[in-house]
């Protein structure tokens, strides 16, 4: 579902901006293609993939009327069975990648993240959670574990109102000074650094 140019920029951002230590986490992996790509760029890391593998939870008012109508239109070309994919797709994608260590964590974010403590700090946190509540759950549970200088890549910031609202609300609630950066269509935050990566990603 990710356009090739956006896919390439995600991987280039990981290669350029990843801290020298820490695991790679993606929340919302669908068939695992982006996680596998990140594993090819950073093969020596632990890769953690979170997904319900049951599709998206119901959109709410916080996500806006468009999100609610999209989820109801099950015959739309871009519906993708409510973004549902069998777990086996992601497993095979990671097995085909250069990843040396990976784990799939299946379940709704509200259940799997509530008591989650990573084995090591997070270097890159990529969020593809779509909706407000899902994005907020991921940020609340995982942002504290991201290392200083770590990357938080937000896939749906421009795609869904609920995602952008969650990001703004989280940064406001935590009084975080971090900027929301963009590189083409890729949105990201550098934790603890109210600055950009500079001309290296221009």
* pLDDT recorded at residue 197: 54
Q: Where are the domains of the chain?
A: 4-201
- CA-nearest of 49, 27, 23 to 36 is 49
* pLDDT recorded at residue 115: 83
Contact status, residue 21 vs residue 45, Cβ threshold 8 Å: no
Question: Which residue ranges in the chain fall short of pLDDT 70?
Answer: 194-202
List, in sequence order, every beta strand (DSSP E) within the chain.
Answer: 23-27, 46-51, 101-106, 122-127, 146-154, 181-183, 186-190
Beta strands 146-154 and 186-190 are: antiparallel
- CA-nearest of 152, 137, 117, 153 to 6 is 153
* pLDDT recorded at residue 194: 59
* pLDDT recorded at residue 10: 97
* pLDDT recorded at residue 199: 47
Residues in the chain: 202
Q: Which two tokens stand for residue 38?
A: 């990140």
Q: At 123, phi and psi to the nearest 5?
A: -85, -45
- The half-sphere exposure of 31 on its side-chain side, counting CA atoms within 13 A, is 8
CATH of domain 4-201: 3.40.50.150
Task: Tell me the whole-structure pTM to 2 decimals.
Answer: 0.93
The burial of 167, by beta-carbon neighbours within 10 Å (0-12 exposed, 13-18 middle, 19 or more buried), is given as buried
Contact status, residue 13 vs residue 151, Cβ threshold 8 Å: yes
């Amino acid at each position: 579902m990710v356009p090739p140019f956006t896919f390439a920029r995600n991987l280039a951002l990981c290669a350029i901006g990843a801290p020298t230590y820490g695991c790679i986490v993606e929340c919302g992996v669908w068939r695992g293609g982006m996680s596998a790509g990140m594993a090819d760029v950073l093969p020596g890391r632990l890769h953690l993939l979170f997904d319900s593998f049951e599709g998206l939870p119901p959109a709410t008012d916080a996500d806006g009327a468009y999100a609610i109508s999209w989820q109801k239109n099950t015959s739309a070309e871009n519906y993708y069975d409510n973004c549902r994919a069998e777990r086996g797709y992601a497993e095979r994608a990671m097995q085909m990648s250069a990843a040396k260590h990976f784990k799939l964590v299946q379940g709704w974010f509200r259940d799997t993240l509530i008591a989650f403590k990573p084995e090591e700090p997070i270097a890159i946190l990529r969020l593809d959670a779509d909706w407000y509540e899902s994005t907020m759950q991921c940020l609340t549970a995982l942002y504290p574990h991201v290392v200083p200088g770590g990357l938080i890549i937000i896939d749906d910031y421009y795609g869904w109102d609920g995602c952008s609202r969650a990001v703004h609300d989280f940064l406001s609630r935590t009084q975080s000074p971090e900027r929301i950066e963009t590189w083409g269509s890729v949105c990201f935050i550098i934790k603890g650094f109210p600055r950009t990566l500079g001309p290296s990603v221009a």
